[in-house]
Chains A and B, each alone.
Chain A
Amino acid sequence: MTLKVENLSTHFFTREGVAKAVDGVSFEVGRGEILGLVGESGSGKSITGFSILGLVDPPGRVTGGKILFQGQDLVGRSPHEMRAIRGKRIAMIFQDPMMTLNPVLSIETQMVETVRAHDKVSKAEARARAVEALGLVGIPSPDERLAAYPHQFSGGMRQRVAIAIALLHRPELIIADEPTTALDVTIQSQILAVIQRLSTEFGMSLVWISHDLGVVAGLAQKVAVMYAGRIVETGTVDDVLDRPIHPYTIGLMRSVPANLDRGETLTPIPGMAPSPLKRPSGCPFRLRCFAATAACEAEPEAAAIDGHLYRCFNPQFERAA
């Protein structure tokens, strides 16, 4: 098992109170496996990703749980130890390729420094590795492009550069935080193809954070659906997306036009995700849920059938999405 997250909690201690952005999250990612972490904005999926890398900014911090990476707990490691792991064994790709590269440094500088942050090699060798990584992600004439600055690349190309940077050390795990959301559909599928190919080629595990169920369905083997800082349903892609049990997952599926038959109307989930500062008692989804009953005022525990986990008092076994 490459990554095993157990009961992870990341809280933000603000003046308005404690925001439980991540509140008891558990999931596993095997070697070469891709896990889709799905949820609305504010569900805590990005914070989960940052927690794994130890990149939660104050006033937030990991308050409990374990992050077992290759069997070793990352929680409570010193900043020095985490720095040695970041970029070397666990890499991250961000959402907006326009923002992730430093605008005033050349691609070469930004790649060479990444190589040399972990491996004591000469500049020439670091450069050679950068050229190779750019080639891997399909940047034409990588040797010349290395001297360019971020503004000379399109969004899709910049995201390829960011992926190339993530690949420089052949990490065992990549956290991808909505890396295709900001891109055109055609570019999106090109990037997905690159990632899919490289993950198989190098046996890299991936945590793919997304709100796009379609992308996750095509890419991941496992899905975890997050709502209000918790995982409400998790299992294989086939189980969760074809036979969703949790009313929230069903609601998400119904919000995607592609999942509907012609003429059927979209049924969006009513209301908004609750603020992490003011979560309702009991099941946090009950106020927006079509299946809510009096039982939902208590907190639902996780239950499972055949490895398909859900956290609900009124599981929807019969309903097709």
Chain B
Amino acid sequence: MTVFIIRRVVQSLLVLFATSVLVFIGIYAIGNPIDIMIPADASAVEREAAIQALGLDRPLIAQYWSFLVDALQGDLGRSFVFNQPAVGLIFQRLPATLELAFVALAIALILGIPLGLIAGLRPKSVADETIMTGSILGFSLPNFWQGMMLIMIFSIWLGWLPSSGRGETGEIFGVTTSLASLDGLKHLILPATNLALFKLSLVIRLTRTGVRETMPLDFIKFARAKGLSERRIVSVHVMKNIMIPIVTVVGMEFGSVIAFAVVTETIFAWPGIGKLLIDSITVLDRPVVVAYLLVVVTMFIVINLLVDIVYSMLDPRIRLGDGQ
């Protein structure tokens, strides 16, 4: 287990290094931030001074080198726009995004697993057909369109829920969150639902397929022959088997929830890192974009590691060790 974790940490550092190179080259190729950042009527001297102050006159490799040296000391640069450390900026916004992502995943799991069970245990029934048709809609309708429809129905027509912003936040165990106030909750429902719909469809399908594959197996029939109740068979024998693929996929999807949050945050004006990224790209605020991607990649790596550990707890046939 220890060997496994050490190996994963080394691999992760390599991945982070590769990402930073790619991102650095990529953002360099997009354009020169100086054109956007200084006023159009600035003199050539002012322009030169700004370029030098930001270090943009140096060759790419030199810029990358100083970035790397700073990065190893925990400094990912200062935002051109806000003149604040880029990492600090991201961590200010991160809780809002994480909150959105967690609530979205919770909705997907809390609704998706029972719906998938109902559909899988009664295949071809009316309930199954209804749930599966719904999940096709969740899959195929574009995320941004679903968001706009949610706003139209629940904010404009019904007027039940606010359509933008984060609302009032409060503190639970020292964490600032919208979950602490009714106003915050109201603001959270629509964006979280928007982000959850796709994952919900995915969880429904995974659960349904898992149930359909597990139910005809011999060990289920044997469990019946032992006289176990149907409830125990489904909640223990079937569930523990289908949790393995669900945890794997949902864990990996958590990363993509954060990535997809870019769209949702833009639609609902949610002040998270996704919106920060879009804003920073528009003004070519290089340090923020680079820092954002590195933070997200790190989160992906950590999540995958956690998934592997949970996976080995769920499936006794898998032991993390030297063999992997």
- With a cutoff of 8 Å between Cβ atoms, the chain A residues found around residue B232 in the complex are 113, 117
**Bound form: Cα–Cα A92–B227 in Å:** 10
- With a cutoff of 8 Å between Cβ atoms, the chain B residues found around residue A87 in the complex are 225-228
Distance from B310 Cβ to chain A, minimum over Cβ atoms (Å): 13
Contact of A117 among B218, B219, B226, B315 (CB under 8 A): B226
Distance from A223 Cβ to chain B, minimum over Cβ atoms (Å): 24
Contact of B316 among A91, A96, A100, A104 (CB under 8 A): A104
Contact of A102 among B216, B227, B241 (CB under 8 A): B241
Please give the number of chain A residues whose Cβ is less than 8 angstroms from any Cβ of chain B in the complex.
Answer: 30
Q: Mark A98-114, 1 if CB is under 8 A from B, else 0.
A: 01111111100100011
Asked whether, in the complex, the Cβ of A84 is within 8 Å of the Cβ of B218, the reply is no
Distance from A2 Cβ to chain B, minimum over Cβ atoms (Å): 18
Asked whether, in the complex, the Cβ of B240 is within 8 Å of the Cβ of A117, the reply is no
**Bound form: Cα–Cα A57–B121 in Å:** 13
Please give the number of chain B residues whose Cβ is less than 8 angstroms from any Cβ of chain A in the complex.
Answer: 23
Asked whether, in the complex, the Cβ of B222 is within 8 Å of the Cβ of A92, the reply is yes
- With a cutoff of 8 Å between Cβ atoms, the chain A residues found around residue B227 in the complex are 83-88, 114, 117-118
Known contacts A149-B316, A151-B316, A101 near B226 by CB under 8 Å: no
Chain B, range 196-225, C-beta contacts under 8 Å to A: 216-219, 221-225
Cβ of B237 under 8 Å from chain A: yes
Distance from A180 Cβ to chain B, minimum over Cβ atoms (Å): 16
Asked whether, in the complex, the Cβ of B219 is within 8 Å of the Cβ of A86, the reply is no
Cβ of A165 under 8 Å from chain B: yes
Contact of A92 among B216, B219, B225, B317 (CB under 8 A): B225
- With a cutoff of 8 Å between Cβ atoms, the chain A residues found around residue B240 in the complex are 102, 104-105
Name the residue of chain A whose CB is nearest to the CB of B215: A57
Name the residue of chain A whose CB is nearest to the CB of B237: A102
Chain A, range 108-161, C-beta contacts under 8 Å to B: 109, 113-114, 117-118, 149, 151
Asked whether, in the complex, the Cβ of A99 is within 8 Å of the Cβ of B218, the reply is yes
Distance from A215 Cβ to chain B, minimum over Cβ atoms (Å): 21
Asked whether, in the complex, the Cβ of A99 is within 8 Å of the Cβ of B229, the reply is no
Chain B, range 226-248, C-beta contacts under 8 Å to A: 226-229, 232, 236-237, 240-241, 244
Contact of B218 among A53, A96, A106, A165 (CB under 8 A): A96
Known contacts A104-B241, A104-B314, A99 near B226 by CB under 8 Å: no
**Bound form: Cα–Cα A151–B226 in Å:** 20
Cβ of A217 under 8 Å from chain B: no
- With a cutoff of 8 Å between Cβ atoms, the chain B residues found around residue A287 in the complex are none
Cβ of A187 under 8 Å from chain B: no
Asked whether, in the complex, the Cβ of B228 is within 8 Å of the Cβ of A94, the reply is no
Distance from A309 Cβ to chain B, minimum over Cβ atoms (Å): 29
Cβ of A55 under 8 Å from chain B: yes
Chain B, range 79-109, C-beta contacts under 8 Å to A: none
- With a cutoff of 8 Å between Cβ atoms, the chain A residues found around residue B237 in the complex are 102, 105
- With a cutoff of 8 Å between Cβ atoms, the chain B residues found around residue A85 in the complex are 227
**Bound form: Cα–Cα A102–B222 in Å:** 9
Name the residue of chain B whose CB is nearest to the CB of A86: B227
Contact of B226 among A84, A105, A149, A165 (CB under 8 A): A165
Contact of A113 among B217, B224, B225, B228 (CB under 8 A): B228
**Bound form: Cα–Cα A92–B224 in Å:** 10
Q: Mark A214-251, 1 if CB is under 8 A from B, else 0.
A: 00000000000000000000000000000000000000
**Bound form: Cα–Cα A94–B228 in Å:** 16
**Bound form: Cα–Cα A55–B232 in Å:** 17
- With a cutoff of 8 Å between Cβ atoms, the chain A residues found around residue B236 in the complex are 105, 109, 113
- With a cutoff of 8 Å between Cβ atoms, the chain B residues found around residue A104 in the complex are 240-241, 244, 314-316
Asked whether, in the complex, the Cβ of B229 is within 8 Å of the Cβ of A94, the reply is no
Asked whether, in the complex, the Cβ of B225 is within 8 Å of the Cβ of A91, the reply is yes
Cβ of A191 under 8 Å from chain B: no
Asked whether, in the complex, the Cβ of A103 is within 8 Å of the Cβ of B229, the reply is no
- With a cutoff of 8 Å between Cβ atoms, the chain B residues found around residue A151 in the complex are 316-317
Distance from A161 Cβ to chain B, minimum over Cβ atoms (Å): 11
Cβ of A283 under 8 Å from chain B: no
**Bound form: Cα–Cα A103–B317 in Å:** 8
Cβ of A162 under 8 Å from chain B: yes
- With a cutoff of 8 Å between Cβ atoms, the chain A residues found around residue B226 in the complex are 86-87, 91, 113-114, 117, 165
- With a cutoff of 8 Å between Cβ atoms, the chain B residues found around residue A113 in the complex are 226, 228, 232, 236
Name the residue of chain B whose CB is nearest to the CB of A101: B219
**Bound form: Cα–Cα A99–B219 in Å:** 6
- With a cutoff of 8 Å between Cβ atoms, the chain B residues found around residue A106 in the complex are 316
Distance from B136 Cβ to chain A, minimum over Cβ atoms (Å): 25
- With a cutoff of 8 Å between Cβ atoms, the chain B residues found around residue A91 in the complex are 225-226
Chain A, range 56-107, C-beta contacts under 8 Å to B: 57, 83-88, 91-92, 94, 96, 99-106
Q: List 21 A-B contacts (CB under 8 A).
A: A53-B225, A55-B225, A86-B224, A88-B227, A94-B218, A94-B222, A99-B218, A100-B218, A102-B219, A102-B223, A103-B219, A103-B241, A104-B241, A105-B240, A113-B232, A113-B236, A117-B226, A117-B227, A117-B229, A151-B316, A151-B317
Known pairs A84-B227, A99-B217, A114-B226; list 7 more (Cβ under 8 Å).
Answer: A83-B228, A87-B225, A94-B221, A104-B316, A113-B226, A114-B227, A117-B227
Residues of chain A touching chain B, judged by Cβ–Cβ distance below 8 Å, are: 53, 55, 57, 83-88, 91-92, 94, 96, 99-106, 109, 113-114, 117-118, 149, 151, 162, 165
In the A-B complex, the 9 residue pairs with the closest CB atoms: A87-B227, A99-B218, A87-B226, A92-B225, A86-B227, A149-B316, A100-B222, A114-B226, A102-B219
